[in-house]
Amino acid sequence: MNPDGSLKPDGENNPANQDAAPGAKALPVTPPQPGDLTTAPGDVMKDSDTANFMADVIEASKQVPVIVYFWAEWCGPCKQFGPALKKVVTQAAGLVKVVKINVDENQELAGQMRIQSIPAVYAFKDGQPTDGFTGALPESQIKTFIDKQTGGAKPPLEAALDDAQAALDAGDVTAAGAIFGKIQAQDPANEKALAGMIRVALAAGEHDQAKEMIDSLPPELTAKPDIAAAIAAVELSRQGQDTGEADEYRSRLEKNENDHQARFDLAMAFYGSNQTEAAIDELLDLFSRAPKWDDEAARKQLLKIFDALGAADPLAASGRKRLSSLLFS
């Protein structure tokens, strides 16, 4: 960068013509305001030109990283790359911004930047180019590039989801509901927020409310993994509540350890009283004794419990491993 603010034309300072600028570092990012969990697409990508480059890129990059995207109407790869870039930057929710420069309309600027092919991308931070690339990268690589510019900072929406889940895991239903509700208000189709609200209702003992929420969802959302897991949790909880006391089934099993219905009901009684590990143990025991009983009820119920717990849950992981061992023994 020259003292007058113009760009140096030499290739040495042109990160867009390199895979990555030597010595480029991801720098701290000024986050959006706390209440802004989502960012509209129009807020993160704007058209600019040579006359406004100083304000839109140089000065703006002193607040958040600015991605400068060089393109043209005739550029075929740009037609796929542009929307992918917009999607990734929108998901970053204000941690970065994109400025589009049409090379045909801004040939002098493109010449200063030594743009040789498009799409070409520069990253600016604190008024300086820090990184760049040329070519239509796939969405996954665009995300990696953007994450590098933000220093790995989580977008506000993602951070809020983490806070809500942490509150729910800690039993703070009120806080979890407030955060999930705020996210849902700003992003009504957010899968994790919808699933979170269902689990909040379940944790509060509001089974009817949870059921109403599920019934109001369109089919395309109920099939989403997080929501499907929350639905499974509600169904299992209802089934557990409808089951009798554990002592009744223990007594029946003492008289006949091959009373499969009693063992199944004992497992559900355990699940209904939040003894999930004990429920899994009983169902695995039942499956080992009678894998085909009641149309493989033990295996199907185990899978439903694992789905309700989520793939990252240690109980689900160990339970699936134990079930696999029984299946292939």
- In a domain, residue 233? The reply is no
Of the candidates 203, 218, 233, which is a domain's last residue?
Answer: 218
Residue 29 CA to residue 155 CA, distance in Å, equals 11
Instruction: Grade residue 125 by pLDDT with cuts at 50, 70 and 90.
Output: very high
205 and 249 fall within a common domain:
no
Laid out side by side, the sheet with 128-134 consists of: 45-48, 97-102, 66-71, 120-125, 128-134
- In a domain, residue 171? The reply is yes
How many domains would you assign to the chain? 3
33 and 98 fall within a common domain:
yes
- In a domain, residue 305? The reply is yes
- In a domain, residue 134? The reply is yes
- In a domain, residue 229? The reply is no
Q: 246 or 91: which carries more pLDDT confidence?
A: 246
211 and 252 fall within a common domain:
no
Task: Tell me the helices (H) and strands (E) count for the chain, helix number first.
Answer: 16, 5
Residue 52 CA to residue 57 CA, distance in Å, equals 8
- In a domain, residue 3? The reply is no
| CATH number, position 50 | 3.40.30.10
Q: How many CB atoms lie within 10 A of CB 14?
A: 22
75: annotated active-site residue: yes
324: annotated active-site residue: no
Instruction: Grade residue 186 by pLDDT with cuts at 50, 70 and 90.
Output: confident
99 and 178 fall within a common domain:
no
**Residue 321 CB burial class (10 angstroms; 0-12, 13-18, ≥19):** exposed
148 and 161 fall within a common domain:
no
To the question of pTM greater than 0.75 for the whole model, the response is no
Token code pair at residue 80 = 């796929």
In this prediction, residue 49 carries a pLDDT of 96
- Whether pLDDT at 41 is above 90: no
68 and 183 fall within a common domain:
no
Residue 194 CA to residue 225 CA, distance in Å, equals 11
148-176 average pLDDT score: 88
In this prediction, residue 36 carries a pLDDT of 53
- Whether pLDDT at 1 is above 80: no
Instruction: Grade residue 38 by pLDDT with cuts at 50, 70 and 90.
Output: low
146 and 183 fall within a common domain:
no
Instruction: Grade residue 13 by pLDDT with cuts at 50, 70 and 90.
Output: very low
Query: What does the mean pLDDT of the chain come to?
Result: 86
Instruction: Grade residue 154 by pLDDT with cuts at 50, 70 and 90.
Output: confident
How far is the CA of 173 from the CAs of 60, 207, 238, 252, in angstroms? 40, 14, 19, 37
For residues 67 and 137, the answer to whether their CB atoms sit within 8 Å is no
Q: Which of 29, 57, 58, 78 is catalytic?
A: 78
Of the candidates 113, 136, 152, which is a domain's last residue?
Answer: 152
Q: How many CB atoms lie within 10 A of CB 61?
A: 25
Instruction: Grade residue 150 by pLDDT with cuts at 50, 70 and 90.
Output: confident
For residues 225 and 316, the answer to whether their CB atoms sit within 8 Å is no
Q: Which of 7, 66, 67, 75 is catalytic?
A: 75
In this prediction, residue 172 carries a pLDDT of 95
104 and 199 fall within a common domain:
no
- In a domain, residue 24? The reply is yes
197 and 146 fall within a common domain:
no
| CATH number, position 312 | 1.25.40.10
- Whether pLDDT at 3 is above 50: no
In this prediction, residue 43 carries a pLDDT of 65
For residues 254 and 262, the answer to whether their CB atoms sit within 8 Å is no
Q: What percent of the chain has pLDDT over 90?
A: 72
- At 15-29, the pLDDT tens digits run 444 433 322 222 222
| CATH number, position 212 | 1.25.40
- In a domain, residue 126? The reply is yes
* Among the listed residues 301, 307, 169, 300, the one whose alpha carbon sits nearest the alpha carbon of residue 232: 307
136 and 188 fall within a common domain:
no
32 and 123 fall within a common domain:
yes
Q: 19 or 171: which carries more pLDDT confidence?
A: 171
- At 244-290, the pLDDT tens digits run 789 999 999 999 999 999 999 999 999 988 899 999 999 999 999 99
In this prediction, residue 311 carries a pLDDT of 84
Range of the domain at 304: 243-327
171 and 285 fall within a common domain:
no
